Every structure is written in C-alpha cells, then in structure tokens.
Amino acid sequence: MVTVTIWGSLRALTDGRATLEVEASTFKQLLDRLVRDYPGLRPQIERGVSLAVDGRIYREAWFTPIKPDSEVVLMPYMTGG
Amino acid sequence: MMALDQNGKRIFKVVGTRPPRPDGIDKVTGRALYGADVAAPGMLVGRILRSPHAHAEIVAIDTSAAVALEGVKAVVTGTDFAPQADPTLRDIQENCMARGKALYDGHAVAAVAATTAAIARAALKLIKVSYKPLPHVTDVDQAMRAEAPVVQAGRALESVPAGTPDNVTHRCEFGHGDLAAGFARADLIVTRSFTTAATHQGYIEPHACLASMTADGKGDLWCCTQGQFNVRTICAALLGIEASQLRVTASEIGGGFGGKTSVFIEPVALALARRAGRPVKIVMTRDEVFRATGPTVSTSIDVRIGVTKAGRITAGEAELRYSGGAFACPTVELGAQAAFAAYDLEAVRTIGWNVLTNRPKEAAFRAPGAPAAIYAVECVIDEACQRLGLDPLEVRLINAARKGTRSSYGPTFDDIGLLATLNAAKAHPHYRAPLAPGQGRGLSAGFWFNFGGNTCVSLNVNTDGTVGVTEGNPDIGGSRAAISQMAAEELGIPYDKVRTMIADTASLGYNDVTDGSRVTFAVGLATIKAAQDAIRKMCARAAKIWGIDPDAVEWVDGAAVPAGPNAGKFPPMTLAEIAALSFKTGGPIAGHHEFNADGAGVSFGVHLCDVEVDPETGATRVLRYTVFQDAGRAVHPSYVEGQMQGGAAQGIGWALNEEYIYGSDGRLQNPGFLDYRVPVASDLPMIETVILEIPNPGHPYGVRGVGETSIVPPLAAVSNAVSRAIGVRMNRLPMSPPRVLAAIDAKG
Amino acid sequence: MKTIHVAATVNGDAVEFVCAPEESLLDVLRNRLGLTGAKEGCGSGDCGACSITLNGRLVCSCLVLAAEAEGAEIGTVEGLARNDALHPLQQAFIDHAALQCGICTPGILVAAKALLERNPDPSESEIRYWLAGNLCRCTGYDKIVRAVQAAARKMRAA
Amino acid sequence: MRYAKPETAAEAVRLLAAEPGIARVLAGGTDLLVQQRAGLVEPDLLVDIKHIAGLRAIVPEAGGFRIGAAVSGAELGEHPGVRALWPGVVEGFELIGSTQVQGRATMAGNLCNGSPAADSVPALVAAGAMARIAGPDGERDCPVLELPQGPGRVALTRGEIITSILLPARPPRSGDAYLRFTPRSEMDIGVASAAVNLTLDAAGRVVAARVVLGAVAPTVRLVAPAAAAVIGTTLDDAALAALAATCAQACSPIDDKRGTIAFRTEVAGVLARRAAVIAYARAGGRK
C-alpha cells in the first residue's frame, strides 16, 4: 500500500482527503488506480501530471518503481522556459 | 574507472575548465546562420495581416483583391488549417491564425506570400477584413469580475468552482499544515498586495523561418527555435501531415529564454508554401514580436506571513491572480508551487488563478510563473525584517529549506544548496560594505525546479580517433561546449577531439525543447551514458584483439586496459587505436542513449543588490550586484556565470523599466525597443558571480540546471533595495521613476 | 518603380548593386550582397545589431538608404578578420565568453572596433556608454566589457 | 518613391517645391527612415541634402559658428571650438540616441522632426541660435525659437529647407548647460528637459539668462519668469527655488507611456535648477 499526497485543489475531487492510500508498485498502476478510486481526478491526470517519488520528480514515466514506504507526491506537469 | 581524490570525490580533467566554444568563431566572424540568414531558389516573401483591435468578431475576410494582385502567389486565413481536437493544439492554431474572432491587438488574421516584400505589403492592404469590435479587457483583476467582457467562454477547467466568471480558466492550491495555528503563534503578521506588469523575453533576433513543401506533401522548415522536434509535432498536426513528412532544422538561435518554445509563424509559412508550391520566408518585425509572440503573465498577488520576534516564519499564505493572455495558461500552477519553495514552513498555502484577457498568448520566460510569486513573498519577508529590526540574511538562514524539509509544493527536499548559498552571501564583502544616504541594499532568495525530459544522443567514434556527438537541443548559452566537455571527460580524451552538433528532426530521435534548464543536465547525462555505451563496445573490441574475456577489460584515461594482473599483460589500447581498427574488428563504433531523464536537481540562488535613488527624480541606479547560485557542478564555469549575469540583467530590467503598456483602446503602446526599455550597457555595473557546487545526486557529475533560477531573485532584490533606499515599501513592478517619485512625494 | 545603380566598397572590395529607392543598406548587404553578418533586430535604430561603419563612421545600416551608399566605404563584421587571422576583439570575445547566442556580437564587434580606433584605452564607463546602442539580452554586458578591455590592452601592447 | 541628390540648395528647393506628392528632406534619416519603415509616412520624393556644398561645414562667423544642416552629431562633438563656446548645445545634441545615431543625426533634422522632446532644440533656443532657410523666395534667417509649431510641425513653407544654424558669439563669463530625464542612462526619448544659458558680471551676479524647457508642452518653451528669477542674483538657494517653481508653472505636459503630468512638471523644475548650477559654474561663477 502506498500513501499518495495530492495537491490542495484536487481535494475537492477526493472527498476532501489530502492523502490517499493506493495499492500500486509503478507510476502507471498508481495513476490508473487513483482514477478508478476517484474518477474526478481523470481530467487532470489525462492532461498530464508529474510524480515526486522520494523527492525525485518524474514526468509521465509509467514504469517508475514505487516502494510501499516511498514518499509519493502528485504534482502538475512541469514545463519550463 | 576514474581518478578519485582523498575523500573519494572524483577529480575532473575537462569538466570545470573553460575551453573555447565550438560555435564561437562562426559567431564572431558573422558566418553563423540564424533564422533570417538563409534563402532558397524561387523563394517568396510571406507577411501576416494582424488585427488592429483588442477584441473583435471577424465577420468576413475578402482576400479577392489580394489574390488578384500581380506577384501574389498565395493567401491563407484561419480556415486553411486543419481543425484540432486537442485543446492545446487548437489554441496554438488559433493563436497562429484567428478563427472567427480577433482576441488581442496584433492577432494574426490572414497571410500572403508574394515575389517581393513590397508586393506582399501592398497585398496586405488589399485584404478587406470586416471586424465587429467587442468590449475588451486587459487588466487581470478587472477580467476576473463577473461583468468583465468574456474573452473566451467555456474554457474553465474542472478545478474552477461553478459560478466563477467565464474568464477564469484555472484554479490551483498547494501547501500543508494548519494556517490558523501558524498565524496564531506569530508576533507580527505582514500583509501586502503586489502587481507585476507583463514583460517580454526581449531576444534580439525576431522569429524567422523558411518553409517549403513539395507536391507530394514533403515539408522542410528552417527556423530559429528552442525545440525543432516540438515544432515538427505542432506543424505536422496543424498542416494535417505526418511527422515523417516534415523535417525541421534549427538554425542558430538569437536568444529565446522560453519565448521560442512554441510556434507563431512556422505553420503559416508552411501553409503558404504548400498553397504557392514555392519556398516562403517569413521574418517578424520587432513590432510583431512584441504584439504577437509570448510575453510573460501579468499578475496581481496578495501575500500574508506570520513571523515571531526571533524571525521564525510560522505561516505563509499567498493568492496569485495571473493572466496568460487570451488563451488558457497553466503557468500560475508553477508560480503557486514556487512562491514559498525556499522556506521550511509548518503552515503554508498558495492559491492560484489564471484569467483570460485580451493580450497575446503567454510563452515561458525563464522559470515561468516563479519570478512574480517569489518577488511578492521575498518583499513581504524583507518588510517583516525591517519592522522587527532583524537582519534579512539571518532571517533567511533561520527559515531556509534544507535536506528533509517538506517543500511548499509537496515533496521532501534531498541535498539542496540554499543554506550554502545564503552563507556564501553572508560571508561576501558585498553584504557588509557601507552604504551612503539615498542608497539601499536588497536581498532575495530564488529557486527553480529544473527537469530532465525526453533526450536522445548518438556519439560516433571516427576512425581518426575523434568523436562526433549528435544531439537535438538548440544551444543558446554555450551548451555544445559543456556537452563536448562531458563526452571528453567520460571518454578520457582531450576536449578538442570532440565536436558536438545539433541534428535536424530527420537525423535523431525525439528531443524535448531546450527549456527547463534541462540541456546541460539531461543531454549531458545522455552523452555520458552514450559514451559509456561506446566504451563498452571498445572494451569488447580490445578483448577480442587480445583474446580475453570482455569483462576482463576496463577503460582508464581514454584507453582499454586489462582489468587486473590475471587478465593478461597487454599495453593500453587507446580510443584512437581501437577506432583505427574498427572496420576490421566488427565495423564502425558508436554509442547511443535515448531516455526520459529524471533526477533533475533544483537550483537555488541568492542575489544582493545595491541601488541609489535620486530623491528629486525617482531615478534608480544599480551600483553593485552579486549573484550566488548552486550549480551542483559547473561544467563550463564561464557559461554558468553567463546564465547568472544574464538572468540578473533581465530581472533588473523587469524590476525597473520593462512593461507591456496597454492603452484604454486595448492596443499595445510600446511595441519597440525604444519604449520597451531593456537595460542598456551603461545602465548596469559589473555583475559579480559566486558559484556554489552542492552536487545533484541525480547526475553522475552532480550537474544541476542553472539557466532559469537567475531571473527569479532580482525582482525582489532590486525592489527591497529601492524600498530601503527611499523608506517606502514598493509593491508594483516596474518601479519606473514616475512611480518611485510619487512614492517619495507621498511619504512627505 | 525605378531601381538605382550603386557602386561602393565593402570591406575593401568593390561592389555594385541595384536597389529600390526605399531599400535600406542593411537589406542590400543581407539580401543582395549575401553578407548576413549584420542582423536586423528592430529596424528602427534602437538595438544596434545592424551596426556597420560608413566612411569610417559607426552607424545603424537599417537607418541608411542603400542609395546613399554610392561611392561609400562600408565596413561590416565580415571585414574584421584579415583572411584567417581574427581581430584581437574577435579572439577576446571567444576567450572571455563575451557572447552566448551571438546575434548581437557582430554589431558589438564593429562598434567596439570603432571605439578602440578613437580611444585605445577606454575606461569601463566609456565602453558602456559607447556600446549603449548595442542591446545584448543574454550576457548582462559584464563579459563584453571585460573582453573589450582585454583586446584594448593587447592592441596597445602590439 | 524617388531619391534625389541635389548639389546646390537652389536645386533642392526647386525639387521640393515642384513635387506634387509628399516630399521630405533626408539628412541623417534617424527619424525619417524610422517613420517610413513604420508606415507613418510614405514620401513620393526624398531630397538628400548631404551632397550640397557647404552643408557639412562648421565655419566660424561673427564670433560664433555657422553649422551646416548636414553636420552630424559625431562631427559637431569632435569640433573643439563649438564645444568650448556652447557646451550646453553640444551636450544636448550628443544625448540624441546611440553612438550609431550620432554618426548620422543632424541638428536641423532634429529641429524639423518637430518632436516636443527634441534634445537639441532647448539649448539652441537658450543660445538664441538662428536658422538660415533657403526657399523658393530666396534665403531668410529665423530664430530657432519660432520654428517649432507643435508635435511634428515646424514653420517652414513648401520648398523651404534649413541650410545652416548659427550659434552666436557670447560675452565673457557666459555658460550654458542642458539636462534631460530618461528612465535609462541612454537611448530614451526625454521625458522632461531643460537648457539654461547664463552670463555673469565680474561679481558673479547673473546679468543675462535664458531658461528653456523641453518635453513639457506641445513645443519647446522659453520661460521668461524663470530667467527673471535668477537675473541679479548669484544663484543662491532662493533664486534656484524660484527658478524651479516658475519652470514648473510654465509646464503643460501630457500623460503618456513615458511619463505623467505630475512627474514631468516636478522634474522639469529640478532639471532647470541643476542645469543652472552647471551653467553658472561654466560661466566662472563660484558657488
């Protein structure tokens, strides 16, 4: 089981919860299960999100392994200039 | 195997030196070819007709007279582009050529291609566009009101609460902890509102491209861009052709800073070229660059912090209202995440809104979204220091984020360089140098995420022992030198044996745009891995020649050597020797690496700025400026310094004189370098630089991106200096002399 | 539309061209003579990227009509080096990393050369005010001033 | 468009007078060619006056200097005689644009462009400079003060061109100065400007003064009350304060992208005061 922290404005789509428990061992599994458990997240996740795993930020990296004790934080998709 | 110093840290031979850059001679002799420097047989001149209205319905476009004009070979309007299902592509297409509505002053509505520039100009005058002017709005706060004219309806994302006025497209919120409790523990609460005007990247090279399309639909596009692969993806979609049919070649680029990460004229040139059956060249005028490319967001920000008498920040809160112009723009999300990123806070919350206005479509400008947000936060912290009588640097040290800090945008920080950067500033003579009356010293911290992204590199070992690195990221600030250094370092050969070239889209796998300060990090990392790939192959060749097992061969100082005494007595076989035999031992040798790089490390900066303000005119002069920044590992220190100095100069311009000035008619009043005032040489002092190296664990050499952080701190550093010099807190950018003088006079 | 025939000298070489009366010297250099070293950054004399010398005088070539160049001596960045020997300013700009994107570099080199011909030992302030008409957006000017000073030292010692 | 290179003033006047369409004089071109490229003016005829004998010369005359209409800012700046006699006029002209613009721009062109913020005009008016004008009805001399008529308009009739500007002689113990306000240290259009020309007596009292403001009214403005405020004084603080106040009262500026009415009014007084102090020192006065 992985604890995912989501950012503030998504809480309106997850019945107000700031952290979610998800059974997942990869980036894609985690996103698929988030959408399954909280359909309201689908538009944002389809638009693209980044994932910080133990402080390291991944963009659209499906097979990134996630350990149960990893710190996992959902973040908007990163762009730069 | 690499040499290590006494405490196990790697000793670098090439990385960290300052070799001459490979493109230097072409650029100092005028031979380097930029976007507008090429021509083609039968080439036509393309020009674009732009809306004089800030907001208007396009009732009809009559191009008949233009089409009939002798010398005109093609005319296109919005209907000549394939409709796009994807909302992002739809916005880009509509920004390149209006569909039904002109959304800002300068919005493209039609384009012609003709045999000469004069005929093209005359043809534009013959195009009859009947506009139905509509009410417009250019101010972000006004645009957020219910009664504001609606720029585009139905663009609100699901994150925007129902009933919010139509122009609001995004709402986001970040942070953690109990704000009420935090503010309750504060001895002082400081609240202040800020506005910052939109600014432009100000690259000296206007956008330019040369497009051609063959009868069987094959396209060739030469253009100045930060990302030729991205241009190919967008243009292929907008023209309705397949990516393999379009080859995009990146010219040398005359500055970008994020403003050339999208497309404006490229799809138009391709559409004209396809219609005319001849190459079409479009070069923007400076007026067009200002009116119709991608300035930054304009912002309106409220910040509140709670601080104890000892200077500990107990709570931080900000509300950011950004406008990214007439199209939906997510940049506020980055600003909201970055606002308090430099601080270790128990309670923090940032709310961000994006609001449509009748302004050009925002493009990134070096750490998009962060400068305005961090400016507001750093000004409020400086005000708290003044009111509590605390040293601003000490207060930053007390509250600085460090390893293990839960960041304001979510993840916990790993090794980061903010403390070291702050301490370097504290120890520097600039921080204690005396100030005369009328002078002020300002300080600000700054941050940018940096990231990796899709990257491909191929590294070819030539039979003469030289190495060619082929990569896909346009080089604005000297990255080809840094990449050659990393290849040479990993291969153990001299720098001048390596030549790095930038490939067109037909010659290499996909590469993300040059942005996000990613090139030296991600392309460098791919180059190192490509070099290791080549090294493995060269060791295998040596093993075959020596008749021993490949695992028994190592690479040391640019040569294959037996891995140990029992591997056999063979003299080292250098890269050149292996390369010379390569045809006989199995064929050409090359190393490759393709990946979506992650592990980019954040880069923190601290800037110190001394100013003198003329109390009788409100004029601000920057007397001294020092930049401290964590580069992780400075591969080519001269160009790291260049990023630090260049970002500081742009930030100073943003703070003092640069702004998009819109009239009540919604038209841009200063679309030129005369009245859009970028700093000139005589405005600035020498800009001192201090590079910190706190290695990024995500890169074998510890490299962090440095290109964007340097523009973040100057806004507040200059503003805090001016505020302290005149004894009035300034809360609006730019601090033009009329505003500073009005503040002085109001103080009485 | 009557074109004008012009004979002039560019970097010591005789050239002839025809041009429209309203055509700028910059457009002729770039589009008719193939000398793309001078760049158009603004077309209004505000950025200096098109700097050349006209009869020894530093000017913006976007604000000179090509027709005015009849019989004139024109100097562009392409004329700085003597065959393959770079001018000390060109070498100093590379050695001091005084350029990043390089679009302003041709204009600044032509302007700096005109300065050093008048003032072989300019102060930092004199360099900055002389180059105030040459905008650079990448470097913040620091390394450009240092490179000009270094080249001036070398030329004084030569 | 046609381009003409007459070799005499008479030929230039004939070409301009005969042109039915829009005709413009081309000297330095640093205003005209910018406006043409921006499509603000589409001339049918350009008359280049740089090949007319004498128009590129600086000639001593009656104790002053006659400056040809085609003399560039760079050339004027390198003339020690004019620099010594009228430092204020030279520094006003040299503030126009960049080094590159100085290589082309002319004082007559700056005057004829008619911008209320023209940098060379306030000091010319303070100096009492005279413009020599050639036209269909022959030659006439006219004080520079009388030429500006409003933004973009000067009092020249069809076919008339300025051939030279005379900077008059000066009594001993005279000094002039010009200051302008721009947000940047170079390259901007003046937001406000002031020129002061003083003559002192042996005791350092001001016996003659002309104070002229730029960019604070539709045309350059000679402020008589400001001159009166300093005449008879040794430029003490009270006189300087009165000078600044009278200048502020004489302003009728606009709000635009460069400055506000309040800012221009206040800063014009500050600049006039500071320019007076410089002019006083140049005239040998000791503060």
pLDDT tens, B423-471? Answer: 999 999 999 999 999 999 999 999 999 989 999 999 999 999 999 999 9
Same domain, yes or no, for B593 and B732?
no
D247 close contact with B: CB closer than 8 A:
no
Residue D98 with chain C: CB contacts under 8 Å: 45, 48, 60, 132-134
- How remote is the C-alpha of B109 from its chain's centroid? 28
Would you say residue D41 has pLDDT above 60?
yes
**Range 79-98 of D in CB contact (< 8 A) with C:** 97-98
Where in the sequence is the domain holding B536, given as residue range(s)?
A: 24-32+452-597
Residue by residue, DSSP assigns B287-356 as HHHHHHS----EEEEEEEEEE-TTS-EEEEEEEEEEE-TTS--THHHHHHHHTTTTB--SSEEEEEEEE-
Residue B594 with chain A: CB contacts under 8 Å: none
The nearest CA of chain B is from the CA of A13 a distance in Å of 9
**Range 52-71 of A in CB contact (< 8 A) with B:** 52, 54-61, 64, 71
Q: Answer yes or no: are the C-beta atoms of D12 and D52 closer than 8 Å.
A: yes
Amino acid at B95: N
Count of CA atoms in the C-beta half-sphere (13 A) of B105: 21
- Mapped onto helix, strand or coil, the DSSP state of residue C5 is strand
Q: Residues B132-171: pLDDT tens digits?
A: 999 999 999 999 999 999 999 999 999 999 999 999 999 9
Taking CB atoms and an 8 Å limit, are C130 and D99 in contact across chains?
Answer: yes
Q: Which pLDDT score, from 0 to 100, does residue A78 have?
A: 78
Same domain, yes or no, for D193 and D163?
no
Does residue B80 lie in a domain region? no
Q: Answer yes or no: are the C-beta atoms of A26 and A4 closer than 8 Å.
A: no
CA dihedral B396, B402, B408, B413 (to 10 degrees): 160
Q: Which pLDDT score, from 0 to 100, does residue A60 have?
A: 82
Same domain, yes or no, for D113 and D90?
yes
Does residue B681 lie in a domain region? yes
The nearest CA of chain C is from the CA of B227 a distance in Å of 15
Q: Which pLDDT score, from 0 to 100, does residue A81 have?
A: 62
Q: Residues D51-61: pLDDT tens digits?
A: 999 999 999 99
Rounded (5°) CA angle C112-C116-C121: 120
Taking CB atoms and an 8 Å limit, are D3 and C43 in contact across chains?
Answer: no
Same domain, yes or no, for B675 and B719?
yes
Q: Which pLDDT score, from 0 to 100, does residue B2 have?
A: 66
For an interface test with C, the pick among D100, D102, D104, D184 (most C C-beta atoms closer than 10 Å) comes out as: D100
Taking CB atoms and an 8 Å limit, are D184 and B736 in contact across chains?
Answer: no
Minimum-distance CB partner of B364 among A73, A75, A80: A80
Same domain, yes or no, for D9 and D100?
yes
Q: Of D167, D184, D210, at which residue does a domain stop?
A: D167
Amino acid at B152: Q
Same domain, yes or no, for B557 and B660?
no
CA-wise closest residue to D213 among D228, D232, D191, D234: D191
**For the residues B232-258, what does the mean pLDDT come to?**
97
**For the residues C60-85, what does the mean pLDDT come to?**
97
Taking CB atoms and an 8 Å limit, are B158 and A58 in contact across chains?
Answer: no
Minimum-distance CB partner of B255 among C38, C128, C137: C137
Identify the CATH number of the domain in which residue D160 sits: 3.30.465.10
Catalogue the E-assigned strands of chain D.
2-4, 23-26, 45-48, 58-61, 64-68, 130-135, 138-143, 148-150, 153-154, 161-167, 174-181, 192-200, 206-214, 221-222
- What does pLDDT average to over chain B? 96
**Range 212-241 of D in CB contact (< 8 A) with B:** none
Is the pTM for the entire model greater than 0.90? yes
The tokens describing B490, both together, are 């990993």
Confidence of residue B59 (pLDDT cuts 50, 70, 90): very high
My answer on whether omega of the bond before B437 falls inside 30° of 0, hence cis, is no
Identify the CATH number of the domain in which residue B663 sits: 3.30.365.10
Q: Which pLDDT score, from 0 to 100, does residue B748 have?
A: 78
Beta-bridged to residue D68, according to DSSP, are D164
Nearest CA in chain C to D2: C21
Compute the distance between CA of residue B259 and CA of residue B517 in angstroms, rounded to an integer.
14
**For the residues B207-222, what does the mean pLDDT come to?**
96
**For the residues D42-46, what does the mean pLDDT come to?**
97
ipTM of the complex: 0.97
Taking CB atoms and an 8 Å limit, are D186 and C133 in contact across chains?
Answer: yes
Beta-bridged to residue C13, according to DSSP, are C10
Fold of C88-157: DNA polymerase; domain 1 (1.10.150)
Of the listed ranges A36-50, C63-77, D6-20, D265-279, the least confidently predicted one is: A36-50
The nearest CA of chain D is from the CA of B34 a distance in Å of 23
**For the residues C37-59, what does the mean pLDDT come to?**
98
Q: Residues D114-150: pLDDT tens digits?
A: 999 999 999 999 999 999 999 999 999 999 999 999 9
Neighbouring chains of B at 3+ CB pairs under 8 Å are A, C, D
From the CB coordinates, do chains D and B have 3 or more pairs under 8 Å? yes
Same domain, yes or no, for D117 and D182?
no
Taking CB atoms and an 8 Å limit, are D34 and C4 in contact across chains?
Answer: no
Residue B173 with chain A: CB contacts under 8 Å: 7-9
Query: b/e per residue, D41-78, with b = 16+ CB within 10 A?
Result: eebebbbbbbbbeebbebeeeeebbbbbbbbbbbbbee
Same domain, yes or no, for D193 and D210?
yes
Same domain, yes or no, for D10 and D145?
yes
Q: Of B568, B597, B626, at which residue does a domain stop?
A: B597
Same domain, yes or no, for D84 and D151?
yes
Q: In total, how many domains does chain B have?
A: 2
Same domain, yes or no, for D105 and D124?
yes
Domain ranges for chain C:
4-79, 88-157
The tokens describing B402, both together, are 């460090």
Does residue D154 lie in a domain region? yes
Where in the sequence is the domain holding D266, given as residue range(s)?
A: 174-282
Same domain, yes or no, for D190 and D136?
no
Does residue D252 lie in a domain region? yes
The nearest CA of chain B is from the CA of D181 a distance in Å of 8
**For the residues B225-230, what does the mean pLDDT come to?**
98
Same domain, yes or no, for B512 and B650?
no
Minimum-distance CB partner of B34 among C39, C139, C141: C39
CB pairs under 8 A between B and D: 54
SS3 letters across D237-254:
HHHHHHHHHHHHHHCCCC
Residue D260 with chain B: CB contacts under 8 Å: 738, 742
Minimum-distance CB partner of B515 among A40, A74, A81: A81
Minimum-distance CB partner of B258 among A54, A60, A81: A81
C37 close contact with B: CB closer than 8 A:
yes
Would you say residue A79 has pLDDT above 80?
no
Confidence of residue C1 (pLDDT cuts 50, 70, 90): low
D127 close contact with B: CB closer than 8 A:
no
Q: Which pLDDT score, from 0 to 100, does residue B568 have?
A: 87
D186 close contact with C: CB closer than 8 A:
yes
Beta-bridged to residue B443, according to DSSP, are B608
Same domain, yes or no, for B576 and B633?
no
The nearest CA of chain C is from the CA of D35 a distance in Å of 9
Q: In total, how many domains does chain D have?
A: 2
Q: Which pLDDT score, from 0 to 100, does residue D24 have?
A: 97
Q: Residues B339-371: pLDDT tens digits?
A: 999 999 999 999 999 999 999 999 999 999 999
Q: Residues B607-662: pLDDT tens digits?
A: 999 999 999 999 999 999 999 999 999 999 999 999 999 999 999 999 999 999 99
CA distances from B218 to B215, B270, B277, B279, D30 (A): 7, 11, 11, 12, 44
Residue D103 with chain C: CB contacts under 8 Å: 54, 57-59
D38 close contact with B: CB closer than 8 A:
yes
Does residue D74 lie in a domain region? yes
Taking CB atoms and an 8 Å limit, are B287 and D38 in contact across chains?
Answer: yes
**From chain C, which residues contact D within 8 Å (Cβ)?**
2, 4, 21-22, 24, 43-46, 48, 51, 54, 57-60, 62-65, 67-68, 70, 111, 114-115, 129-134
Nearest CA in chain D to B743: D263
Would you say residue B6 has pLDDT above 80?
no
The nearest CA of chain C is from the CA of D59 a distance in Å of 21
For an interface test with B, the pick among D30, D180, D260 (most B C-beta atoms closer than 10 Å) comes out as: D260
Nearest CA in chain A to B349: A8
CB pairs under 8 A between A and B: 107
Q: Which pLDDT score, from 0 to 100, does residue B369 have?
A: 97
Does residue D138 lie in a domain region? yes
Same domain, yes or no, for D118 and D209?
no
Nearest CA in chain B to A79: B516
**For the residues D70-88, what does the mean pLDDT come to?**
97
Taking CB atoms and an 8 Å limit, are C45 and D100 in contact across chains?
Answer: yes
Residue B736 with chain D: CB contacts under 8 Å: 183
C58 close contact with B: CB closer than 8 A:
no
Does residue D267 lie in a domain region? yes
Does residue B244 lie in a domain region? no
Fold of C4-79: Ubiquitin-like (UB roll) (3.10.20)
Amino acid at B173: E
Minimum-distance CB partner of C45 among D1, D74, D101: D101
Same domain, yes or no, for D245 and D155?
no
The domain A2-76 belongs to what CATH superfamily?
Beta-grasp domain (3.10.20.30)
Taking CB atoms and an 8 Å limit, are C111 and D99 in contact across chains?
Answer: yes
The nearest CA of chain B is from the CA of C87 a distance in Å of 9
Q: Answer yes or no: are the C-beta atoms of B207 and B264 closer than 8 Å.
A: yes
Would you say residue B54 has pLDDT above 60?
yes
Residue by residue, DSSP assigns B502-536 as E--TTSS-----S-TT-IIIIIHHHHHHHHHHHHH
Confidence of residue B1 (pLDDT cuts 50, 70, 90): low
Q: Of B565, B597, B629, at which residue does a domain stop?
A: B597
Same domain, yes or no, for D145 and D217?
no
Q: Answer yes or no: are the C-beta atoms of C148 and C130 closer than 8 Å.
A: no
Q: Of D140, D167, D194, at which residue does a domain stop?
A: D167
CA distances from B130 to B64, B74, B127 (A): 14, 21, 10
Nearest CA in chain B to C80: B29
Confidence of residue D261 (pLDDT cuts 50, 70, 90): very high
Catalogue the E-assigned strands of chain A.
2-5, 19-22, 49-53, 56-59, 72-76
